[in-house]
Amino acid sequence: QVQLVESGGGLVQAGGSLRLSCAASGRTLGRSAMGWFRQAPGKEREFLAAISWSAGSTAYIDSVKGRFTISRDYAKNTVYLQMNSLKPEDTAVYYCAATGSISTANLAKSDTYHYWGQGTQVTVSS
């Protein structure tokens, strides 16, 4: 079993930055693709970014390209989401997720992920 715990959320002004962390315990995530999603009130959960198990490839939705960066630290069993140039529309609960697989297929789909964190709130004020 894998437990994922997000941290780093908070309140930030528009244009500011935050770095979210997702620490895994219970099993190494060295051979798992990882992703970040978010869900705003009244909206569906939205894919943001994914990173392959080897960190050789990443993917982003267009609205965060150039602003968000996903990365991973194998030694710390942690995945990060660096968020720059934040906008009020980035306000949401942010979730990290693990597929539990080395496959890079369908990483934008939430159903691909077997393990989820509890989420961390990000609020961007205008």
Report the alpha-carbon distance of residue 5 to residue 97 in Å, rounded.
Answer: 10
Per-residue pLDDT tens digits for 57-75: 999 999 999 999 999 999 9
The mean predicted confidence, pLDDT, of the chain is 94
Query: Is residue 30 pLDDT above 80, yes or no?
Result: no
Query: Is residue 29 pLDDT above 90, yes or no?
Result: no
Average pLDDT of the segment spanning 13-34: 91
Per-residue pLDDT tens digits for 95-119: 999 999 888 899 999 999 999 999 9
| Token representation of residue 78 | 């942690």
Sequence letter at residue 75: A
pLDDT of residue 31: 86
Report the alpha-carbon distance of residue 11 to residue 124 in Å, rounded.
Answer: 6
